[in-house]
Amino acid sequence: MSEKQICTRVAPSPTGDPHVGTAYQALFNYAFAKGRGGRFILRIEDTDQARSTAESEQAILESLHWLGLQWDEGPDVGGPHGPYRQSERTEIYREHVHRLLAAGNAYRCFCTRERLDTLRGRQGADTGYDRLCRNLAADESQRRAEAGEPFVVRMKIPLAGECVFTDLLRGEIRKDWASVDDQVLLKSDGFPTYHLANVIDDHLMGVTHVIRGEEWLNSVPKHVQLYDHFGWQKPVFCHLPLLRNNDPNKTKLSKRKNPTSIRYYRRAGYLPEALLNFLGMMGWLMPNGEEKFTVADMVANLKLEDISLGGPVFDQDKLRWLNARYIRENYNAAGLCGLLEAWALNREMYQRIIPLVQPRLERLADWGHLTAPFFADEVPLPAEDLPIKGLDGVRTAEILQLVVWRLEQQRDFTAPALDALLRETAEKLALKLRQLLAPLFVALSGRTAWTPLFDSMAILGSDLVRMRLRRAIEVLGGVSAKRQKELDKEYTRLFGRRD
Ligand code: GLU
């Protein structure tokens, strides 16, 4: 039998800012495939219609390109296994679901949302569906579907025994089938769920190695069963360790604590090759122990078995240290000049900033002072200017915390959207808009007067804004753990539940 060509993929969902975790997975998938003469695919998993946006997809592609990663097949470059956007493949999924239904490996479920909610309430969040519709006679199921009753399609999970599969880094893993739900494969809107689309695409695209984040490990039994239902050969599964915050409990890297958007690292002046090198160090080391290495070095040396599972910490200090080495060691003065031109002196940035600065320029020389906050990572924070008029530092920190939480939930980071959001926030907190905006000016620019706030925030971007606000909260003394809980309640009462 001839060896199948190695093929890997990265499969981001375009539901937000391009995440460093996506770049991390892309890098390992790329390096592994390229070290073995294989293919590397980028696939867009946009089955969540409500949350996926074209803008997010664009930002993901752009950010991965900025990092210097390239794929052989993808929505922007095409390829023989397209389309590479799941929303354009719904016919393929439906046809496969029909196959499962015809073979008795899946069934229509007509249960209403109310019924499912009641079940969930009764059985606890973990165990889901009681499989009521699994026993519907085929002709009744057909009749109800034809009569127009809404339904989802669920896969049949074995009722007893255990699922045994191998993860390349963890060895054999066993899971009782009794703990696995009859997963929904096709939603009532005719769109597939992640599980169905992911397995079908990996198979049809010839993916031999599924290298992805650890958070998907629990889904493997469902995927394994789908491969079996279809009679397909399973890929090698390799779940990369989750990136961690640099905190005592090494919690999962989250935007609550760290900037996680690739765009932030670009804006804050990190070099793509340094960021990639840093991501390569997450769970892996060059055989010679050298910490500074290129993607080509990684391609030549990466063996998946060498990846270590001890949660890799996304340590900002280490990243900064590595970035500094690149700036010092890889660039002469002319090179650095080019780098700065591309980063700061580029027309796109100028065009966005000039309209804000021009009305405030008395001499061209004011440019530097007025625009400095746009070209910085952190800004100096004068603690005495932060507290809101009439309130103390403790309450100001709490209010900033509420604002950070609101911004975390905010997808539209344009000036009008931010304007509306902060107006509403001030109103609900019984503050004058001016009172709420004053500490934001200070936290974001390091001074009391700056260019117009909403436009400036839009230019900085969500991660940089939240990072500076988090620093201001720290400068004000932070919010105690006890108060965090109360604040969380206050937030829910005023603005609704957070994701
Ligand atoms: N769309 C999934 C994600 O964004 C992909 C998971 C996988 O690689 O299977 O994480």
The neighbouring-strand residues paired with 162 are 176
* Cα-to-centroid distance, 13 and ligand 1 (Å): 7
Catalytic residue among 34, 175, 255, 257: 255
By most ligand atoms within 8 Å of CB, the mutation choice from 13, 224, 234 for ligand 1 is 13
pLDDT computed for residue 123 by the predictor: 61
Nearest atom in ligand 1 to the alpha carbon of residue 11 is 5
Residue 154 CA to residue 42 CA, distance in Å, equals 28
Nearest atom in ligand 1 to the alpha carbon of residue 9 is 8
DSSP codes of every residue in 47-97: --TTT--HHHHHHHHHHHHHHT---SBBTTTB-TT---BGGG-HHHHHHHH
> Would you say the CB of residue 198 lies under 6 angstroms from ligand 1?
yes
pLDDT computed for residue 313 by the predictor: 96
Nearest atom in ligand 1 to the alpha carbon of residue 219 is 9
pLDDT computed for residue 237 by the predictor: 98
At 258-297, the pLDDT tens digits run 899 999 999 999 999 999 999 999 999 999 999 999 999 9
> Would you say the CB of residue 216 lies under 6 angstroms from ligand 1?
yes
* Cβ-Cβ contacts under 8 Å for 255 (sequence gap 6 or more): 261, 408, 463, 466
* Cα-to-centroid distance, 463 and ligand 1 (Å): 22
At 89-111, the pLDDT tens digits run 999 999 999 999 999 999 999 99
pLDDT computed for residue 93 by the predictor: 98
pLDDT computed for residue 124 by the predictor: 55
Residue 276 CA to residue 483 CA, distance in Å, equals 38
User: Does 126 have pLDDT greater than 70?
Assistant: no
> Would you say the CB of residue 212 lies under 6 angstroms from ligand 1?
yes
pLDDT computed for residue 2 by the predictor: 53
Mean pLDDT of 60-84: 97
Mean pLDDT of 157-161: 96
pLDDT computed for residue 161 by the predictor: 97
Mean pLDDT of 405-417: 94
Residue 417 burial (CB < 10 Å; 0-12/13-18/19+)? Answer: middle
pLDDT computed for residue 1 by the predictor: 44
The pLDDT > 90 percentage for the chain reads 87
Q: How many CB atoms lie within 10 A of CB 186?
A: 27
Please answer whether residues 3 and 206 qualify as being in contact, where contact means their C-beta atoms are separated by less than 8 angstroms: no
> Would you say the CB of residue 12 lies under 6 angstroms from ligand 1?
yes
- What confidence tier does 125 reach under pLDDT thresholds 50, 70, 90? low
Selected residue with higher pLDDT from 394 and 257: 394
The pLDDT > 70 percentage for the chain reads 98
Mean pLDDT of 289-314: 97
| Residue 303 appears among annotated catalytic residues | no
Mean pLDDT of 204-226: 97
Residues making up the chain, counted from first to last: 499
Mean pLDDT of 472-479: 95
User: Does 15 have pLDDT greater than 70?
Assistant: yes
* Cα-to-centroid distance, 10 and ligand 1 (Å): 7
Please answer whether residues 234 and 260 qualify as being in contact, where contact means their C-beta atoms are separated by less than 8 angstroms: no
pTM of the predicted protein model: 0.91
Selected residue with higher pLDDT from 482 and 128: 482
User: Does 362 have pLDDT greater than 90?
Assistant: yes
User: Does 466 have pLDDT greater than 50?
Assistant: yes
* Cα-to-centroid distance, 198 and ligand 1 (Å): 8
> Would you say the CB of residue 11 lies under 6 angstroms from ligand 1?
yes
